Amino acid sequence: MKYKLTDETKQFGEITLYRIKALKDFSDVKSGDLGGWVEGGWNLSQEGDCWVSDNAKVSGNACVSGNANVHEDAWVYGNAWVYEDAKVYGRANVYEDANVYGKARVYGNAKISGNAWVHEDARVYGNAWVYEDAKISGAAWVYVNAKVYGNACVYEDANVYGKARVYGNACVYEDANVYGNARVHEDAKVSGNAKISGNAWVYGNARVYGYAEVYGDAKVYGNARVSGNAQVYGNAWVSGNTKFYGNAWVCGNKEICGNLKVS
């Protein structure tokens, strides 16, 4: 055994939590070190270098294993799993059936819940919330007050931040950025070095990629494609089967739809 439950307890609502104590040296932990709090031995594996420290809590059926670390004031509960080399810290919460693994980091006041997965080298922090069946992977970052939910995915080197929302079956990937109050949802995909910002919406089966930008109060939807260095902004709408590419731009209150190709 690498640790034991001590007699030191505290109540957290109706739950009794026990302080843990290391019984041998491993990783940065020394024998005799006091750790964080668990509800029972099932919350922290006796194998690997995993540890719970500071004022962190693990309760319910949640489990920390592998080389994972939960520290500071973080709380892992419900049926959540934190494993491999993942770290959860700050005041972050991981709960329900969520999984955090790989080399992922969840911190600040971030929340991971539902059946959400955060893995590989992903970062979720600030006041961000990833929930339902959303997946964050690769080297993607979700932060500030952003929310990713539904079946949405953010991966590779993409960033979602500010008050942006990515949901439905939408995907943001490669080096794309979604920020401000932007919304990407339904079956939309944003990729390449594209930027969606302001109050812009990209939805339906729309695709925005390359170095394209959609911002202001603009909307791109339907089967529209915006690519290259194209810009859609102001109150402009691009929809239908329109292909908007090259150095094209549209702004103001214009609406472009149908089967047009604009370059």
Cα distance between residue 117 and residue 223, in whole Å: 29
pLDDT at position 255 over 90: no
Whole-number Å distance between alpha carbons of 144 and 56: 22
pLDDT of residue 245: 87
Q: What is the rounded average pLDDT of the residues 123-138?
A: 98
Q: Is the pLDDT of residue 34 over 70?
A: yes
Mean pLDDT of the chain: 96
pLDDT at 220 over 70: yes
Predicted local distance difference test score (pLDDT) of residue 260: 58
Look at residues 190, 134, 118, 199 and name the one whose alpha carbon lies nearest to residue 158: 190
Rounded to whole angstroms, how far apart are CA atoms 208 and 223? 11
Sign of CA dihedral 233, 235, 238, 243: negative
To 5 degrees, how large is the angle CA 202–CA 228–CA 214? 30
88-97, 127-136, 252-261: lowest mean pLDDT where? 252-261
Please state the domain extents for the chain.
1-97
Report whether pLDDT(32) > 70: yes
pLDDT tier for residue 251 given thresholds of 50, 70 and 90: confident
Model pLDDT for residues 99-127, shown as the tens digit of each residue = 999 999 999 999 999 999 999 999 999 99
pLDDT tens per residue, range 161-197: 999 999 999 999 999 999 999 999 999 999 999 999 9
d(CA 238, CA 177): 19
CA distance 181 to 197: 7
Q: What is the 3-state secondary structure (H, E, C) of the chain?
A: CCEEEEEEEEEECCEEEEEEEECCCECCECCCCEEEEECCHHHECCCCCCEECCCCEECCCCEECCCCEECCCCEECCCCEECCCCEECCCCEECCCCEECCCCEECCCCEECCCCEECCCCEECCCCEECCCCEECCCCEECCCCEECCCCEECCCCEECCCCEECCCCEECCCCEECCCCEECCCCEECCCCEECCCCEECCCCEECCCCEECCCCEECCCCEECCCCEECCCCEECCCCEECCCCEECCCCEECCCCEEC
Q: What is the pLDDT of residue 35?
A: 98
| Spatial distance between the Cα atoms of 18 and 112, rounded to a whole number of angstroms | 24
**Sole residue written with tokens 């922090």:** 125
Q: Which residue from 142, 50, 164 is spatially nearest to 92, judged by alpha carbons?
A: 142
Specify whether the CB–CB gap between 210 and 228 falls below 8 A: yes
CA angle 154, 262, 156 (to 5 degrees): 15
